[in-house]
Amino acid sequence: MSPRIIPEQLPADLFGKRDRDRTVRVFDAVASARLRWATLVNRRDLRPKVDDRRLALVVTERRVEAHDQDVVSLRLEAPDGRELPPWRPGAHLDLELPSGRLRQYSLCGDPADTRAYRVAVRRIPEGGGGSVEVHDALPVGSPIVVRGPRNAFPFAVPGYGSPSVHLHFVAGGIGITPILPMARLAMRLGLDWSMVYVGRSRETIPFLDEIETFGDRVTVRTDDEHGLPDAAALLPGVTTGTAVYCCGPVPMTTTVAEAVRRMRGVELHSERFSPPPIVNGRPFEIQLASTGEVLQVPADESALATLLKSRPDQPYSCRQGFCRTCKVRVLAGEPDHRDTVLTEDERADGDMLACVSRCDGGRLVLDL
């Protein structure tokens, strides 16, 4: 049996000395200093960063992509022809338009083309001016500054990040733009995939010539010929083991999401090009600190929409709570944060995204 050790009998250190050797203390001090230095040098901020990389490009080509003339694509290249930062299907660019507006557009070209980006824009006269400016103020030769690329709609290839064995794409109108590179990659890799492409009419659907190269993998449905599509029309043959990628107007993406929610073993990845519907909204007030003006925000309207009526130059872009362009500073009041990108520190500092966040009644005082 081992002898019992009484704690009081233990030496001050393992060598039986209460005071360490002076040389050892010096070495300990040096080691501690080096450890603190290494920690400081290698410390990384783990909070998500917004990629504000800015590139000066030029418009080298413009094409009309829909028979109604309301969709144009722009080919953007570096003035010196150098290679551009790489991107993957689903990525987008922030375009700094000549007016100062910042707008986001999906990349719809080929990631293998390393010397050019392509975006496509539908003219929406009531959409705040960004699309009209792209159509009217960016001829071939125009300089343009872009930020990115960034990806809020990543594509997970089956076998390389997704357990699915089949891909099904659903695109509505201009929502085809992020889907096109995904379909091209699926075709190039020989994957099992299908697509339903919907729109008001064949005259309004962009990139029909490119879509036709995919053959019978793609079903084109138009409202004027077939009526509004239901879930069965949008998701034919979708069963367990399918990954669905959906992009387009809110009613379409909502229909798809509600149907997929009831399916076992089906993934859903989606992106929409319009603001999300407001859920459980309550009316509240916004006071502009600079003027004292008080604005009334209805229960079914975003703070950004109300601000734009009084301040039409208020910056915004995605209107969905992830690009940060519409960030405002709250001086008083309790925001109801509904974004997914601001950190707790940023919220504590008073930051709020006006496009999606609200107030639980009462008033917010904003510093614009």
Cβ contacts of residue 134 below 8 Å, gap of 6+? 72, 74, 95, 97, 103, 121
pLDDT band at 20 (very low <50, low <70, confident <90, very high): very low
Q: Which of 226, 241, 271 is the last residue of a domain?
A: 271
Cβ atoms of 97 and 168 within 8 Å: the answer is no
Question: CATH no. for residue 183?
Answer: 3.40.50.80
Between vectors from CA 299 to CA 294 and to CA 300, what angle results, nearest 5°? 115
Which phi and psi (to 5°) does residue 43 adopt? Answer: -65, 135
Q: Which two tokens stand for residue 228?
A: 């509004």
Among the listed ranges 271-275, 302-306, 311-315, which one has the minimum average pLDDT value?
A: 271-275
> Highest mean pLDDT: which of 15-24, 38-47, 138-147, 359-368?
138-147
75 is a domain residue: yes
Model pLDDT, residue 47: 37
Q: How far apart are CA 46 and CA 356, in angstroms?
A: 24
Same domain, 118 and 182: no
For the stretch 262-289, what's the b/e string if a residue is b when 16 or more beta carbons lie within 10 angstroms of its beta carbon?
Answer: ebeebbbbbbbbebbebeebeebbbbbe
Q: Which two tokens stand for residue 283?
A: 């009316």
24 is a domain residue: no
Domain count for the chain, please give it: 3
Q: Which of 212, 236, 271 is the last residue of a domain?
A: 271
Q: Cα Rg for the chain, rounded, in angstroms?
A: 27
pLDDT band at 127 (very low <50, low <70, confident <90, very high): low
pLDDT digits (tens, 9 = 90+) for 230-280: 999 999 999 999 999 999 988 899 999 999 999 999 999 998 766 777 888
Q: Which of 88, 123, 151 is the last residue of a domain?
A: 151
HSE of 69, CA atoms in CB hemisphere, 13 A: 1
The pTM of the full predicted model, rounded to 2 decimals, is 0.72
For residue 187, the enclosing domain spans 166-271
Q: Is the pLDDT of residue 314 over 60?
A: yes
Same domain, 250 and 299: no
Question: CATH no. for residue 107?
Answer: 2.40.30.10
Same domain, 219 and 249: yes
27 is a domain residue: no
238 is a domain residue: yes
Cβ contacts of residue 108 below 8 Å, gap of 6+? 73, 118, 119, 120, 176, 177, 178, 180, 181, 207
Same domain, 208 and 288: no
Same domain, 191 and 245: yes
Model pLDDT, residue 341: 83
Nearest alpha-carbon partner for 152 in 354, 266, 339, 323: 323
